[in-house]
Structures are given as structure tokens and as C-alpha cells.
Structure 1
Amino acid sequence: MNAAPPLRLAEMTTEEAATAVTASPVVIIPAGAFEQHGPAMPLATDTIRAEGVAERVAAALAGRAVIGPPLPVGVSPHHLAFAGTVTLTTTTLAAVVREYVESLYRHGWRKVLVITGHGGNNATLSTVAQDLLTTHPGLQFAWTPVTPLAADVVSGMGVSEVHGHSGEAETAQMLHLAPGLVHTDRLTAGTTSTAQLDPLSRLSRHGAHPALVVRYDRLSPNGILGDPRRATAEDGQAVVDAVVVRVVAFVKEWLDA
């Protein structure tokens, strides 16, 4: 019995990659970050989540998509007050994404999907998508966040009034995808209510007002938004499964368009 073809370009020979251009017309690029995730989770949390989703999406597409090179460092200046955080500027990330895409385009791929586990990458990916409409009109470039795709599942988890980074949803996903990297004995609550935020920090929260970006050490002394002690692996699986189903449905429709 023949083994299943590799899902990752990194594991292919150059001959296999040449064949994959036709057989697997979508390249999925997992994008994450290298930043603090509180006292209980690793710096690579966002990359691990993006890669976990990418692997499941590629597997569900049964060979019609391959996983390209990851983007393990993202735009994280708002976390630099916490040790270990490494960041790219928006200009650098945009340049790297474009150069990944240009290489793939040169070999014949015309559909690229970036799955980002880090919200700090969103603005840059939007800018790159707009620029590629001019520089590569034959390319179709899509990107998606992870957790926001399952907002309905997250809302049913009983999350805190203030939740997000390193909180219930992210921790739950890690308990499902990489439980050995979560120090459950170190899980602790962070900022869980707007009453804990100073006036400037309150303005940074999403709402019907202009956007304001502040450092995470201003939002939360320990870098956590929410209470990760409430997280379960079962909730994490529900979030990941919902995200995968929705991305797979999009890609199938995209391939048939």
C-alpha cells in the first residue's frame, strides 16, 4: 500500500513539489508569533495553533492543498515588555510574505492562504493582500485568523467579560493541540473585567470608537486577558474543529470557483 503523499512542501523533493503545483493548487502558510503567553504557555503558542489548524485543513482537503513554509515570528511590539518576545516590524513581515508568495508564484501556484494565529499580523496581511492585487493580478491571496472564525463556540464557553490573549480560548486550543506545553499548575487569571482597566486601556478595547493600540503590560500585568483556568481540552477541540470545518468549506468553494 502506497503511503499518503506529504502535506508539507518542506518534506517533498523538488520533483514532488513540481507535481504538487497541479495536484495541490492551494498553498497554506501558517503564521504565528514569538511572544509571551503568560506564565503557563510557550512563546510559540500562536504558531502552534496556526500549524495545528493548517495540518487539519490540509488533511481534510485530501491532497488538494499543501502546507508551505511557516511564518513563526510576527508583529508583536505590544508584547515587548515581557521577556522572550521577538517581533518583526510590519514592513519586514509584509516583505517576507510577499517574497514567499513571489517564490510560490514563480513555480506556478496561484492560490495562497495564510492562516494566522496572531491578531497582530492582521493589518499587515490586509495590506499585502491589497498590494498583490496590483503586483500579481493572476494570484488569489486569502488570509484568515484562527479564533475569530469560531466566535460562536468561544462565546458558549463562559468566557470572562474581558478575554483574549492567553485567556480561555487560546489556552483551550493549546490543551487540545499541545497539552504537554501547557503548565497547568501555573495557569492564573489576568484582566477579566473592564473595571480592572485604566481609562486609556478601556479605549483600546474594540467598540464604537476610533482604534487605539496600547502595550499589553498596560492591559494586564501578567500578559493575560481572561481566566485560562476555565479552559478545557474539550472546548479547545470544539474551537479547532469549527475553524477547520469553516476553512475547509471556504477552500473547497474557492477551488471550484
Structure 2
Amino acid sequence: MTAKLAEMTTLDAARAAERGTAVILPVGAFEQHGAGLPLATDQIRAEAVADAVAEALPDRVVIGPGVPVGVSPHHQAFAGTVSLRPTLFAAVVREYVESLAAHGWTRFLVVTGHGGNNATLGTLAQELLRDRPDLELAWAPVTAMAPDAVGSMERSPVSGHSGEAETAQMLHVAPHLVRHDLLAPGTTTPDELDPFARLARSVSHPAVALPYDRLSPSGVLGDPRRATAEDGRAILTEATDRIVAFVKEWLDT
């Protein structure tokens, strides 16, 4: 049987809920990823991980509806970016959760390809803990789930959005969407940041939200030309393995 709720009948869904499956909700963003990657990069990566987790855990998880637009106001200076207010993004995810909870599901895992969603997901989890203690909401940022694979990559001193790690993942799961001819380094060293942006990115100073064009005129942090599909496979394999291990323990508790 398919693991995707969208492909099930209502009877299939009822049986899946009765089995005590967890629901995976893949969420991403609709935002610039430099000249070489598509706007849907974060959703594509989240869905790839959700599919891999479901394949590894047949009959234990189902994949619910995704949220392809996330919290991306910091990318709004770049054409094509679409963003939801944090309150609206949280409301959409909450409606998904509570709709499915009405049919018996109690455990929900949000796999997010966009780091900008993390703060909102954390707030939502706290609200559900207060309002719906019968439900459990976990969330997993894709790239952060693979520290070893990311750490072993050859990366620029400044790397991140649209850089080596994200490009590598896209080369692995959707190489046909990568514009190899347009991959180019963005901001790669601290000296290329403007003075305030350099200060704001320091872990020893207060955090501040900055528009991404202050960090990189091209929207890229790092040098995506260094990325390989093998790097991407390693990142997504490690992320999948960590999430699978978590879900197994979660469902067995």
C-alpha cells in the first residue's frame, strides 16, 4: 500500500490511523536559491527525505499533505519568493495536525527543508503541548540532521543557503533542475559581508534578522560548484537514518 495519504482512499486512511502510524508532513519554502537552483528546492528536499523515511518504515508512517510555502521574508528582495507570515504558517500546520487528529492520529513529524521554519515550528509545538497534550509534534530540519556528512564536505569559510550542502542534495534528488551553467560562488568569506552583517552572524553577539541581500547580493552563501551528487546522497542518507531511528524509538515508546 502507498504511504501517501493523498493516494489512499478514506478506508485506507482509517486503517492506517488504527495501526498507530505517525504522520510525516514535508514542508519547505518558495524562495530564491541563487541562479542555479529552483525556488522549490526546500520542498523538494523535504519530500525526498519523507519518501525515504516512509520506504524504510512501511506500515509505520504515512505522508500527509505538504506545505510548499514557508516563512521566507528574509528572501523577499529576490524575484519569485513567496512567504507566509509565521502565524499563518503555524496555523496551516496546526489545521493539518488537528484535522488528522480527529481521525485518530496522535504523532506528527514535520520534515522541513527550510531552516527559516524552525522557530515557528518550535512555537507551534509549545502551543500544542499546552492546548492538545494528547498530541505530539516533532520536527526535523533536513540538513541539520546530517552534521557528519555536511562536515566532511569541502566548504567555503562562509557557506549555507544555496551553497555546497543544498546544491549537493539537489544534484542527488533532482539533477535535472540544477542549472550547472549558472552555479557560481556567492559570499564565501567573512570579509565579503558588510560590517553589520558580519557582526550579526557572530555567535558571540545578539541575534538579528537581516534580509538575505545584506548577506549575499546573489542570494548564495558558499560555492555551489564544489558540490557533488555523492555529497548529496551522503547528506540525505544520514538525515534519513537519524529520522528513522528517532521514529522507531518514538513509536515503540
- TM-score w.r.t. structure 2 length? 0.98
Counterpart among 18, 33, 37 of residue 33 in structure 2 = 37
Q: Distance in 1 between matches of 2:47 and 2:132?
A: 26
- In the alignment, does 2:197 pair up with 1:201? yes
Amino acid at match of 1:227: D
- In the alignment, does 2:217 pair up with 1:213? no
Who is 1:53 aligned against? 49
Alignment of 1:80-229 (within 5 A): 80-229=76-225
Who is 2:61 aligned against? 65
Q: Distance in 1 between matches of 2:250 and 2:84?
A: 31
Question: How far apart are residue 205 of structure 1 and its match?
Answer: 1.6
Q: Distance in 1 between matches of 2:43 and 2:57?
A: 21
- TM-score w.r.t. structure 1 length? 0.97
Q: Distance in 1 between matches of 2:202 and 2:146?
A: 18
Q: Distance in 2 between matches of 1:131 and 1:206?
A: 30
User: Any stretches of 5+ residues in structure 1 without a counterpart?
Assistant: none
- In the alignment, does 2:248 pair up with 1:252? yes
Q: Distance in 1 between matches of 2:139 and 2:250?
A: 13
Seq. identity, %: 63
Q: Distance in 1 between matches of 2:200 and 2:65?
A: 33
- SS of residue in 2 equivalent to 1:185: helix
- SS of residue in 2 equivalent to 1:138: coil
Question: How far apart are residue 204 of structure 1 and its match?
Answer: 2.8
Q: Distance in 2 between matches of 1:21 and 1:38?
A: 41
- SS of residue in 1 equivalent to 2:213: helix
Counterpart among 72, 75, 80 of residue 76 in structure 1 = 72
Q: Write out per-residue CA displacement over residues 14-72 of structure 1, whole angstroms, 9 at most, x where no aligned residue.
A: 11000010235100000100000000110000000000000000110112000000010
Question: How far apart are residue 224 of structure 1 and its match?
Answer: 0.1
Contact 1:50 1:117 in 2 (8 A): yes
Q: Write out per-residue CA displacement over residues 164-210 of structure 1, whole angstroms, 9 at most, x where no aligned residue.
A: 00000000000000000001111000000101011111133251221
Amino acid at match of 1:18: A
Q: Write out per-residue CA displacement over residues 66-112 of structure 1, whole angstroms, 9 at most, x where no aligned residue.
A: 00000100000000100000000001001111111110110100000
Who is 2:233 aligned against? 237
Q: Distance in 1 between matches of 2:76 and 2:200?
A: 17
Amino acid at match of 1:85: T
Contact 2:21 2:59 in 1 (8 A): no
Q: Distance in 2 between matches of 1:240 and 1:43?
A: 19
Q: Distance in 2 between matches of 1:153 and 1:208?
A: 26
- SS of residue in 2 equivalent to 1:82: coil
Q: Distance in 2 between matches of 1:27 and 1:247?
A: 13
User: Any stretches of 5+ residues in structure 2 without a counterpart?
Assistant: none
Q: Distance in 1 between matches of 2:202 and 2:37?
A: 25
Moved more, 220-229 or 203-212: 203-212
